[in-house]
Amino acid sequence: MACSGVNCILHISSTIRRSSSSVTSLLLEEENKVKLYQYANCPYCHKAKALLSYASVPHKIVEVNPLNKAKLKPLADQSVKKVPIAILEQKDGSLVQING
């Protein structure tokens, strides 16, 4: 099931709120890194970024060009194709999409 916009933000928010969740513990480990793929002028992307900052989740912002979307090509196998896309890079190098 794909989500977009507000649904993605609500999904990330509910994931972060579940303190007993294994995803939350993964988000807060220093070895794991969250990348947020976004457009510079996307309001939903700004809300997702604000949520990650509010929850003190360390993250990296990846600006995507909306015309060619070249930075989204490596994520072709992920379930959500629209920004914002939040990806958790685990210690073993695997990528897990946390908003889908």
Joined together, the tokens standing for residue 2 give 């794909």
Residue 10 has pLDDT above 90, yes or no: no
Joined together, the tokens standing for residue 75 give 């994520």
Return the pLDDT at 32: 61
pLDDT tens, residue by residue, 55-97: 888 899 999 998 888 888 878 777 777 889 998 888 888 888 8
Say what the alpha-carbon torsion angle 45, 48, 49, 51 is, to the nearest 10 degrees. Answer: 160
Return the pLDDT at 47: 92
- Averaged pLDDT score across all residues of the chain: 76
User: Which of the pair, 37 or 100, is modelled with greater confidence?
Assistant: 37
Return the pLDDT at 26: 56
Model-level pTM?
0.68
Calculate what percentage of the chain has a pLDDT beyond 70. Answer: 66
Distance CA 55, CA 63 (A): 21
